[in-house]
């Protein structure tokens, strides 16, 4: 009986230490089409995924998930180094995608056509009406450029860039610098 209690205690401590390490390790995972995270401090590009594909994943995983598995309402095309996702309802241009270089995913992008599938803070970013509205959601960018045509807001430490051009909003996720 005493041994059983000891084993339960050791197992519980092991579980708590793993859970605690996860909290110390950084942000919780953010699936662009499922997660409702609204706190920009929790966002790191290395924890963001597009239908299960993350930065650094091998090309084979990206192909299996994005091309071979059917995603409802999404048409998939591969062009050169990009796997592009199109909205089947209005295929005016890709709404999201990944770039594969050297056998690994090195870029994930989404734009305002993806907003209907996005959840959490990036749904609001993709539907934003101005660069100032993006700043209210994500905070002040590390650096950027704003002119009459639009704005580029670079959140380099978190690994993403927001391009704002009128009604067109694009977000690119890369490894943080």
Residue 1 lies in a domain: no
Residue 83 structural domain? 26-173
The pLDDT value recorded for residue 2 is 52
Residue 107 lies in a domain: yes
The token pair at 87 is: 């909205």
Residue 8 lies in a domain: no
CA distance 172 to 51: 15
The token pair at 151 is: 């704005």
What is the pTM (predicted TM-score) of this model? 0.81
Residue 2 lies in a domain: no
**Mind listing the pLDDT tens digit for each residue in 33-51?**
999 999 998 899 999 999 9
Residue 5 lies in a domain: no
Residue 18 lies in a domain: no
Total structural domains within the chain: 1
Residue 17 lies in a domain: no
Contact present, 104 and 83 (Cβ < 8 Å): no
The pLDDT value recorded for residue 117 is 94
């Amino acid at each position: 009986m005493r041994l059983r209690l000891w084993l339960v205690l050791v197992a519980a401590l092991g579980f708590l230490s793993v859970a605690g390490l996860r909290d110390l390790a950084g942000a919780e995972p953010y699936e662009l089409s499922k997660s409702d995270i609204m706190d920009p401090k929790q966002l790191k590009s290395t924890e963001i995924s597009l239908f299960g594909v993350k930065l650094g994943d091998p090309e084979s995983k990206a192909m299996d998930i994005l091309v071979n598995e059917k995603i409802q309402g999404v048409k998939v095309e591969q062009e050169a180094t990009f796997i592009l996702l199109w909205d089947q309802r209005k295929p005016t241009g890709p709404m999201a995608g990944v770039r594969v270089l050297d056998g690994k995913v090195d870029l994930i992008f989404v734009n305002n056509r993806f907003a209907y599938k996005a959840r959490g803070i990036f749904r609001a970013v993709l539907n934003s009406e101005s660069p100032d509205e993006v700043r209210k959601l994500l905070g002040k960018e590390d650096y950027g450029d704003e002119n009459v045509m639009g704005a580029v807001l670079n959140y380099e430490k978190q690994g993403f860039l927001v391009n704002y051009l009128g009604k067109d909003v694009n977000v690119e996720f890369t490894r943080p610098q």
